[in-house]
């Protein structure tokens, strides 16, 4: 028995899952905009109480490490670190895009003969997305990178594969990726539910992060916009 708290805040969805090994005990999530900092600890408290558990019953905390929203990642990682510090529990990190690819593989049904590749996409503003390509065994055939979406995106793979793309960056591809082998998985969002298998595997293997020095995988440096308060420059 290993009780793991899984925190996913890398995208507009704030999702928290409480699991026992790889079995789901409780799940809370919301897509309400800019709500992560308001609901993340509320969700955790509610879930523990609903399951008759206390924070000390946790064996580890897992956090989605990115890439994704700078602010969202900071909220998730700081929450996870705070719990780990306070309780002396180990910290586990799970790649956001790989967890999304697992979720996509559970939802996408391919009736065709070509092999499938999964392209989870996170919006990175304008026509850019954070993405990667995973095969049906969730092995990365193209590592995480920032891509400008155009008709040549994934051109090295598209002729011999069905490519399924999903996530909050995928809408940018609906008109741009014009090829019969592209498939869009509608209404798909990142979820802590897709972290549970990875966090359970890492817990069993003792693959923990250094809580003091762990940082999210931002992929790109954060660039602050100009201040909006009058008189500041």
What is each CA distance from 192 to 11, 116, 154, in whole angstroms? 11, 23, 27
What single-letter DSSP state applies at residue 130?
Answer: E
Using left for φ > 0, alpha for ψ between -120 and 50, and beta otherwise, residue 68 falls in left
Between CA 6 and CA 76 the distance in angstroms is 10
pLDDT in tens, the chain (233 residues): 799 999 999 999 999 999 998 899 999 999 998 899 999 999 999 999 999 999 999 999 999 999 999 999 999 999 999 999 999 999 999 999 999 999 999 999 877 789 999 999 999 987 899 999 999 999 999 999 999 888 888 889 999 999 999 999 998 887 788 889 999 998 899 999 999 999 999 999 999 999 999 999 998 754 444 544 455 44
CB-CB contact of 80 with 7 (8 Å): yes
A 10 A CB-CB count for 145 gives: 12
Between CA 144 and CA 137 the distance in angstroms is 16
CATH of domain 97-184: 3.30.420
Indicate the fold that domain 3-95+190-205 takes in CATH: Nucleotidyltransferase; domain 5 (3.30.420)
Ordered DSSP codes for 5-31: EEEE-SSS-EEEEEEETTEEEEEEEE-
Query: Residue written as tokens 């890439």?
Result: 67
The pTM assigned to this predicted structure is 0.91
What is each CA distance from 203 to 11, 80, 94, 180, 206, in whole angstroms? 24, 15, 11, 41, 5
């Amino acid at each position: 028995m290993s009780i793991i708290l899984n925190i996913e805040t890398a995208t507009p969805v704030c999702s928290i899952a409480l699991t026992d090994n790889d079995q789901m005990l409780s799940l809370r999530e919301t897509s309400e905009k800019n709500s992560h900092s308001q609901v993340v600890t509320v969700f955790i408290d509610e879930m523990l109480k609903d399951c008759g558990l206390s924070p000390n019953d946790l064996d580890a905390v897992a956090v989605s490490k990115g890439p994704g929203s700078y602010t969202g990642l900071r909220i998730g990682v700081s929450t996870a670190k705070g719990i780990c510090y306070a309780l002396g529990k180990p910290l586990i990190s799970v790649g956001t895009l790989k967890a999304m690819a697992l979720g996509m593989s559970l939802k996408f049904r391919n009736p065709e003969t070509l092999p499938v590749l999964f392209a989870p996409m996170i919006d990175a503003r304008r026509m850019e997305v954070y993405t990667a390509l995973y095969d049906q065994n969730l092995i990365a055939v193209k590592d995480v990178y920032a891509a400008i979406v155009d008709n040549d995106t994934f051109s090295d793979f598209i002729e011999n594969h069905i490519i399924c793309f999903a996530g909050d960056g995928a809408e940018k591809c609906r008109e741009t990726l014009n090829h019969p082998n592209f498939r869009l998985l509608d209404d798909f969002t990142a979820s802590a539910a897709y972290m549970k298998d990875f966090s359970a595997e890492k817990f069993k293997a003792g693959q923990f992060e250094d809580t003091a020095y762990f940082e999210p995988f931002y992929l790109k440096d954060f660039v602050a916009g100009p201040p909006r308060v009058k008189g500041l420059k």
